[in-house]
Amino acid sequence: MLYCCVTGHRDIPTDKENEVKQRLYDEILQAIHDGYDVFISGFADGADLLFAEIVAQLREQYPKLFMEAAIPYRNRLKSTSTRFQHLLRECNGVKIVCERYQPDCFLLSNRYMVNQSSRVIAVYDGREKGGTFSTMRYAYCLNREVRIIHI
C-alpha cells in the first residue's frame, strides 16, 4: 500500500478556492495513477477538508481507495461542522493522535501523517512559519516526495 497525505493552509482565499480544488483533484488523481491507494487528511478547515472531499468523491470511481482521518485530539471528533461530520463518516479509518488536547497535538498529527506517507501534497502560500511550512520541512527531512500547489 502506498500512502499520500495533505498539508495546507486553513485560510485559502475565496478567489483561489476553485483553482486549489482543481489542482488538488489533479494531484490526487495523479497519485492514484502512480499507485497510491491510502489517503490521509488531518481534517482541518481549508486544504485538509478539500482533500477529503475529493478523495471521497473519487472513491465512487476507485472503490479500493482507503481514506483515513488523522484527528489531532479526541474532542475534535465533536466538531459541530456538518461538512466535517459528513466527511468523517466517509473515512475507512480514524487515527486519534492525542487523547486530550495539548499544545503540540497538531504538530504530532502532521508528523504522524508524514511518517506514514511517501508523498505529501502541500497547498502552500509561501509563508515561512506555521504548520504547513513545518510539515513540509519535516517531509523533506524524511526524504518524502513533496508536491506543492502554490497559492
What residues make up the domain containing 134?
3-150
List the chain residues with pLDDT less than 70: none
pLDDT digits (tens, 9 = 90+) for 47-91: 999 999 999 999 999 999 999 999 999 999 999 999 999 999 999
CA distance 21 to 50: 7
CA 3 to chain centre: 11
Q: Are 34 and 74 in contact (CB under 8 A)?
A: no
Of the candidates 58, 60, 9, 33, the residue with the CA atom closest to the CA atom of residue 119: 33
pTM, two decimal places: 0.96
Into how many domains does the chain fold?
Answer: 1
Query: CB-based contacts of 128: which residues, under 8 Å, 6+ apart?
Result: none
Return the CATH number at 39: 3.40.50.450
SS3 of 39, please? strand
Q: Are 43 and 88 in contact (CB under 8 A)?
A: yes
Angle at 134 between CA 131 and CA 138, to 5 degrees: 135
